[in-house]
Amino acid sequence: MDLALFDLDNTLIAGDSDFEWAQFLIAKGILDRALYEARNIEFYEQYKAGTLDIDVFLDFQLQPLSRYPRALLDTWRREFMSRHILPLVGDKARALVREHRDRGALCAIVTATNSFVTGPIIHEFGIAHLIATIPAQVNGQFTGQPRGTPSFREGKITRVESWLEAMGLWWSSFERSWFYSDSQNDLPLLSRVSNPVAVDPDPTLCAHAEAAGWPVISLRG
């Protein structure tokens, strides 16, 4: 059996769901544009540059979840999914996931974006397992804080290994392990699998992939 892991943002989807979620809330007037838009753009640029402080970002990204009832958040998320995410899901990405599933691989999406935003997205790909940053809850209400290790950079390895151990598995349980990503932030996990693949990579990852002889593919178009 193989293990197939997929980054989500700018890999399986042609955009960043974390960034788009904040922009969606700003456009609806839920978040104040003057206070939030510049910071959202700044954090996204830091992420792309590989300089993001994940703890500072999560405080920014998760606090709005704590201010509204879960039912209202769920309503907004359904609108966000239909209007902003589904148009970013392409046929090539669906086909790639389907290829691994049809071969019997254990598949998971591994993303730094929080599980509230990304939970519905994995179902579009027929993937049962999501490894994402977890927004903490108390009695079903979000607290505005993360729970456990964020699924970011080296944290992705920690979270994947905890997930595997919970099923009685380890890297050696698989004939081959794959990870698909666009970002230099994912170099730790890409370096951990037997088959790393750069997908529409940023310049840093592209240069690393070419030097290391990793495949470089595109899922756009």
Active site amino acids:
7, 9
What's phi and psi for 9, nearest 5 deg?
A: -70, 130
* Residue 160 vs residues 6, 99, 116, 215: alpha-carbon distances, Å: 12, 21, 18, 22
111: left (phi over 0), alpha (psi -120 to 50) or beta: beta
- Residue 179: strand pairing partners: 5, 196
Report the C-alpha gap between 156 and 183 in whole angstroms: 13
* Residue 88 vs residues 14, 127, 169, 220: alpha-carbon distances, Å: 5, 17, 33, 10
Report the C-alpha gap between 194 and 179 in whole angstroms: 9
Fill in the DSSP letter of residue 150.
-
Instruction: Tokens for 128, please give them.
Output: 């049962």
Is residue 9 within 8 A of residue 15, CB to CB? The reply is yes
